[in-house]
Amino acid sequence: MMDEGKKNLLGVWVNALDYEAAVNKIITAARESKPCGVSALAVHGVMTGVLDEIHRYRLNQFDLILPDGQPVRWALNMLYKTGLPDRVCGPTTMLLVCEKAAEEGLPIYLYGSKVEVLETLANNLCKRYPKLKIAGYQPSKFRQVTPEEKREIIQQIRSSGAAITFVGLGCPRQEVWVYEHMDSLSMPLLAVGAAFDFWAGNVTKSPEFLSQLGLEWLYRLLQEPKRLWKRYVLLNPLYIWLFILQALKIRKFEPQEATPPSQEMRYG
C-alpha cells in the first residue's frame, strides 16, 4: 500500500496513492458511516479547478482526489518524487470498491445517467460480483434541481440503506454534486465519470497500451470528437505549459487561493 498524502498540482490537492490505499480509505469510511468525498481527476478534471477558483475550492474540500490519467501521475512523480507505479482511474476504482463492498456486505447506490444505463450497469455489476448489494439507483434529471428535489434525493439515498454512493454525472457536474452532498450523506460519495457507461457496455475503454502511454484522451477524442475536441485540444497544451511553470518555480499555484461558492448549484 502506498500513500504519500496530498500534493499541490497547479493549486489542486491531488492524493499521491495507489489503488490499494484508495480503496482502503473508501471502505473504511463506508464501514464507519463517515462522509468521504472522492473524485478521480485526469487532466481535464484538474484543469476545471485550475481555471475556476470556485470549483478549485470545491475540489480542495474533497477527502480524496485520485490521480486518474498518466499525465497527472507523471506530474506528481516529477514534482514530488512520489514514485507512483500507476494511475488510479475512476472506472477501475469503482470495480475494486464494488468487489470489496460485496465481500463486506456494504450496499452501494448508483446516482446519475439514464434509467436504461443504470439497469444494465446494476445487472453487470451483480453478475461480476454476485454478493454485491445494490441498495438502489436514481437517474439524473439533467437539469438543476429544486431545494425540495434535493431533499428528496438525499432522503431516498439515506433510506435505501446504502453505505457507498457512486455518482456519474460527468465532469464537473458530478464533483459539484459530491461537494454539495458530502455533509448530508454520511458515506463515501465517488464521482466516477464515464465508469457508468464503461461498465454498462455503452462505451469501450481505451486499450491498456494507450493508457500506459498517456494517450487515453486520444482514444476518447476519436470516439466523440464533436463533444470532446475542445477539452483535449485546448486544455492539454495549457496543462503542460502550466506544469512547466510550476516545475521551474516560475509561477506558484496556491491551493488556498480559492473562493467558496456563494450558493448551491444543485445539479441533478
pLDDT for residue 113 = 94
pLDDT for residue 12 = 98
Question: Which residue reads 470495480 in cell numbers?
Answer: 95
| pLDDT interval class at 204 (50, 70, 90) | confident
pLDDT for residue 232 = 72
Q: What is the mean pLDDT of residues 48-67?
A: 98
* pTM assigned to the model: 0.92
CB–CB of 175/267 below 8 Å? no
Please check the confidence at residue 193 and state whether its pLDDT lies above 90.
no
Q: 92-107, pLDDT tens digit by residue?
A: 999 999 999 999 999 9
Please check the confidence at residue 209 and state whether its pLDDT lies above 90.
no
44-53, 140-149, 202-211, 230-239: least confidently modelled range? 202-211
pLDDT for residue 250 = 98
pLDDT for residue 210 = 66
CB–CB of 163/30 below 8 Å? yes
Please check the confidence at residue 186 and state whether its pLDDT lies above 80.
yes
pLDDT for residue 207 = 78
**Which cell numbers hold the place of 245?**
511553470
Q: What percent of the chain has pLDDT over 70?
A: 96
CB–CB of 201/215 below 8 Å? no
CB–CB of 135/107 below 8 Å? yes
| pLDDT interval class at 227 (50, 70, 90) | confident
| pLDDT interval class at 217 (50, 70, 90) | low
pLDDT for residue 39 = 98
CB–CB of 10/238 below 8 Å? no
Q: 110-159, pLDDT tens digit by residue?
A: 999 999 999 999 999 999 999 999 999 999 988 888 989 999 999 999 99
- Distance (Å, rounded) from C-alpha 29 to C-alpha 102? 15
